[in-house]
């Protein structure tokens, strides 16, 4: 008999602690995969899962985490950490080159718009052998 992957076992325990979620899956016909992916991405404490908690589970969750501002602060610090990790891996020369290309493209577009706004000169077609010089 094969053992479940640890994340699958954790999800199974999560579903067992949220009976309304189990009912929703059975009623709606939605697949387990959809909820597993949301669970993996959102985490167990995300407000998305609140509607599936029983009243006892919801009160336990509030007792475990009475200060939601603190969790929001850690979410922001996690986001900042992720942004810092991402920016450390950037090639600044490549970014500078892309910025220069974008700047040139914007200049060309501005020039084209300026040319379109200029009124066209009212000139009659000139005869090819006329003596008049333009």
Number of folded domains that form the chain: 2
Domain co-membership, 85 together with 106: yes
Q: Which of 114, 117, 95, 116 is nearest to 106 (CA)?
A: 114
Token pair 């080159």: residue: 97
Using one digit for the tens of pLDDT, what is the confidence trace for 96-131?
888 999 999 999 999 998 888 876 666 666 666 666
Tell me: do 7 and 50 sit in the same domain: yes
pLDDT of 36-76, one tens digit each? Answer: 888 888 878 888 888 887 755 444 554 555 444 455 556 67
Selection from 12, 48, 2 nearest residue 32 by Cα: 12
Contacts of 19 (CB under 8 A, 6+ apart): 54
Domain limits for position 46: 1-66
For residue 65, the SS3 value is coil
Query: Within this chain, do residues 75 and 99 fall inside the same structural domain, yes or no?
Result: yes
User: What predicted TM-score, i.e. pTM, was given to this entire model?
Assistant: 0.39
DSSP for 95-110 reads HHHHHHHHHHHHHHHH
């Amino acid at each position: 008999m094969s053992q479940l992957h640890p994340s699958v076992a954790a999800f199974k325990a999560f579903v067992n602690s949220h009976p309304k979620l189990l009912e929703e899956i059975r009623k709606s016909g939605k697949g387990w995969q959809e909820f597993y992916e949301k669970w993996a991405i959102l985490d167990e404490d995300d407000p998305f899962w609140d509607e599936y908690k029983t009243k006892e589970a919801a009160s336990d969750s509030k007792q475990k985490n009475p200060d939601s501002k603190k969790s929001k602060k850690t979410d922001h610090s996690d986001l900042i950490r992720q942004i810092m990790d991402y920016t450390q891996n950037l090639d600044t020369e490549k970014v500078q080159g892309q910025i220069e290309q974008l700047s040139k493209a914007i200049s060309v577009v501005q020039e084209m718009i300026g040319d379109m706004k200029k009124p066209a000169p009212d000139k009659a077609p000139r005869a090819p052998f006329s003596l008049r010089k333009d």
